Amino acid sequence: MIKWIGCHWLWEVLRYLKFGGMNNLENVDKEAYMVEYNTFERLEQLKSPRILNNHGFFEDQPSDLLKKNVKVVFVYRNIKDLAVSYYHHHTRFQEYKYNDSFTHYIRRLVSGLVDNGSVFEYLQGWEEGIRTSPGLSVHIVSYEDMKENPVAELRRLSEYLGTSTDIQFLENVAKATDFEAMQTRKVTSTLFLDQEGKPIMYRKGQVGDWKNYFTIADSEWMDEVIDRELGHSKLFKFKYSLN
């Protein structure tokens, strides 16, 4: 999962679905379960079953994805809201020292001149990898669908994972992993806080926040790019607002 596409949120959701009865559920740092932040030896020491997370391209995934009956959950988000989240990533983390305009920033994003490279190549690569890997077990999740119909999407996830589909359980998980609730909870636990003490990983989580940043010209330009790069996708259908 590429950064700022909902991977922190989804990882927490998966933990609640799998281990919802654990008393110490909230005391685990996601970074300890991220493939790119740890050695394989360290990851192997984690108690099984493990819910691992990474931002990697399909070609960079471990070959065991196709060998060991691994279940993969892939989340994607509309490109415009992703661009806004990525923009705040680079303006709120002081290490980047990015202070140029949003219009300039989205040109960098489209050109792949940001962390993890091109989001379009990332999505294209995953779609091609899924298409050509019939042995891969994968469940596709839309960030916007999770926001709009959380219980229904949690049920789909639970059916895929083989976890409880009890409606009361799913409603409890939806409440516990509501973005605003997690944002409040993570203020005291996240490793990444901005200068004001606010969690960088949980900024707004809104669908449609892009309208506050894109000019009409920027939006039309991005529409053309998205149509050119992903217009023929059979997996990724973007929602830019909720009903």
**Cβ(177)–Cβ(39) under 8 Å?**
no
The rounded distance, in Å, linking the Cα atoms of 24 and 33 is 16
Residue of 55, 88, 89, 90 marked active site: 55
Q: Which residue has the tokens 């779609």?
A: 127
Calpha distance 110→232 (Å, rounded): 18
Q: Alpha-carbon distance 105 to 160, whole Å?
A: 37
* Pair 138, 74: CB distance under 8 Å: yes
Say how far apart CA 206 and CA 144 lie, in whole Å: 9
* Structure tokens, 29: 């740092």
55 is catalytic: yes
Looking at the DSSP bridge assignments, the partners of residue 115 are none
Residues that are catalytic: 55
